[in-house]
Copies of this chain bind each other. A is one copy, B any other.
Amino acid sequence: MSAQLQVHLLPSLVDAGTLQGGVAIVIDVLRATTTIAHAFHAGVTNVYPIADIPGALSLADEFRQSGESVILGGERGGVAVPGFDLGNSPLEYSWDKCQSKMLIFSTTNGTRALLHAKGAERIVTAGFVNFSAVCEILLEEKRPIHFICAGSNGHIALEDTLLAGAFLAALLPHRPVPMNDSARLAWDAFECHGLVLTEALKLSAGGMHLQSIGLGDDIELCAEVDRLMLVPEVRYDGKDRPYLEVGSIGIERRLWPGK
């Protein structure tokens, strides 16, 4: 497919090879990519996304043995993992807990989406919280752009689709290019729900689940546009393991396409 702006509504819908030569924007609004941005804002030096809990625990051991200061964060079923330092609520990631530490992070959907993006030449993570900062780098990109929505346990998620749609609405006036059908759906979703973001997130399946386990307060935080001015970007360490660090900081303009 030759579309230069593609939305993939689930990681499993990314065809093998399609990301090659392109830029992947990984989206898990509720809550992984929101929380990762907050963790960087709170001072973590980098974030290792790890798919499984034993893998996360063993990597933490490895880094601690080499003298690194490490914290473990993440969730399963939305709640904190026993033995981890922090869960997946953005506000848990405070300066006193995070400053100058490495974060090893494992969540149900977002972490896996991030690892699934590995075929792309450049990989960044996005939430509503760092919308304009991500937009700014996308406006400079000439390569095909792929928005990879994490979804929720294999189900397409409204909130991730909405954010992909917001990016399209912001980019298309500057870059009118072919897009795939899922991109049109995402754009439509943003047209319909962009003015009532928090309400849309509350009625999404993911938002309903958070409210049901007492974490409804996280939703407003995840719907906050442009609170943070940083773009987490994937690098590879000496052992070819992907990790995130802050690839750029600072926005020049507010690019949010909503009113």
Query: Is residue A136 within 8 Å, beta carbon to beta carbon, of the partner chain?
Result: no
Interface of A is mostly: helix
Q: Once the chains bind, are B205 and A185 in contact (CB under 8 Å)?
A: no
Q: Name which residue of chain B comes closest to A7, CB basis.
A: B156
- Among A176-184, A216-224, A236-244, A247-255, the one that faces the other chain is A176-184
Q: Once the chains bind, are A185 and B180 in contact (CB under 8 Å)?
A: no
Partner of A188, one of B152, B181, B189, B203: B189
Q: Once the chains bind, are A181 and B154 in contact (CB under 8 Å)?
A: no
Query: Is residue A1 within 8 Å, beta carbon to beta carbon, of the partner chain?
Result: yes
Interface residues on A, range: 20 to 34
Query: Is residue A158 within 8 Å, beta carbon to beta carbon, of the partner chain?
Result: yes
The distance in angstroms between the C-alpha atoms of A156 and B181, with both chains bound, is: 7
Distance between A156 CB and nearest chain B CB, rounded to angstroms: 5
Partner of A205, one of B181, B187, B203: B181
Query: Is residue A13 within 8 Å, beta carbon to beta carbon, of the partner chain?
Result: yes
Q: Name which residue of chain B comes closest to A152, CB basis.
A: B181
A185-221, CB < 8 A from B? 185, 187-189, 191-193, 203-206
Contact partners of A181 in chain B: CB under 8 A: 152, 155-158, 161, 204-206
Query: 10 smallest A-B Cβ distances: which pairs?
Result: A158-B181, A188-B192, A188-B188, A188-B189, A156-B182, A181-B205, A185-B185, A185-B189, A158-B184, A181-B204
Q: A10-B13, A13-B155, A181-B204 are in contact. List 11 more A-B contacts (CB 8 A).
A: A1-B155, A1-B205, A12-B12, A13-B154, A13-B156, A156-B181, A181-B206, A185-B185, A188-B191, A191-B192, A192-B192
Could you list 26 examples of A-B contacts with CB < 8 Å? Answer: A1-B155, A1-B205, A12-B12, A13-B154, A13-B155, A13-B156, A152-B181, A155-B182, A156-B181, A156-B185, A158-B181, A158-B184, A180-B205, A181-B204, A181-B205, A184-B189, A184-B193, A184-B203, A184-B204, A185-B185, A185-B188, A187-B192, A188-B188, A188-B189, A188-B191, A188-B193
